[in-house]
Structure 1
Amino acid sequence: MSATVLTAPVPAPVQPLSTDLDPNDVEFSAPVPAVGAVARTVGAPVVRDRTDAPPAAPRGLSIITAAPGLWRVALIGGPVLGHIELRERDGEERFVARRLLRGGLRSIELGEFWSPTDAAECFR
């Protein structure tokens, strides 16, 4: 009787992993658009990436940033009344006041203004 001896191949030496990354060796994909970069509304496009503070609130109202170029208007300690939206038309900024209708699913445009303060006055 004869026996065949099987031998396993000798593995190659293992290279240690490097924890130092060279930014020149890394491939980056295309930049990811900012939040709200693809947001559109009916009518004029929304100005994107606007991070300004909300406009001054008239007495009895609170105005909170809801998204870039969009502010939520509510009664202090009460329900949401509507929104102020920043739009760009012909290279100029305009502020649109939108009032929420009963149930809060639909809104109606109250007007278009040159300043956010004027748009906020519609909700008083």
Structure 2
Amino acid sequence: METTIRGEALDPPVIAAGVPIRLSAAAPSLWRVIDATGRVIGHLQALSFGDGIRYRARRFQSATRAFLDLGDFWNADDAIECLRFVR
């Protein structure tokens, strides 16, 4: 069962060297993923599951004015790669 990590100020995940993105805090356990040009390409959300923390890749869909969950990943790097390459 998933639960959001509420009120806990988590440090941003460490990003693999050479990945041309940066993270900007949006809320506790939520970060904007910003590419090298300064464009927000999505959000990275930390979620607590019974067996550890997973990272959800989310992208805003302007047509529906809602976020689309792209998937849950065991590490932040995989979630970020999903946001980078699923456009």
TM range (shorter): 0.7 to 0.9
1:52 lines up with 2:11 in the alignment: yes
The percent of aligned pairs where both chains have the same amino acid is 34
- Structure 2: which amino acid aligns with 1:56? I
2:58 to 94, 98, 122: 98
- Structure 2: which amino acid aligns with 1:113? F
Matches within 5 A, 1:80-91: 80-91=40-51
> Structure 1, unaligned stretches of length 5 or more?
1-42
Q: Which has the higher strand share?
A: 2
Deviation at 1:95, TM superposition (A): 0.7
State the TM-score, normalized to the length of structure 1. 0.55
Structure number with larger C-alpha Rg: 1
> Structure 2, unaligned stretches of length 5 or more?
none
1:78 to 32, 35, 38: 38
State the TM-score, normalized to the length of structure 2. 0.74
Q: Which moved more, 1:81-90 or 1:102-111?
A: 102-111
Deviation at 1:117, TM superposition (A): 1.1
1:62 lines up with 2:22 in the alignment: yes
- Structure 2: which amino acid aligns with 1:109? D
Q: Contact 1:54/1:71 (CA < 8 Å) preserved in 2? A: no
- Structure 2: which amino acid aligns with 1:44? E
Matches within 5 A, 1:3-14: none
Corresponding pairs, count: 82
* Cα deviation 1:7-51 (Å, max 9, x = unaligned): xxxxxxxxxxxxxxxxxxxxxxxxxxxxxxxxxxxx833113132
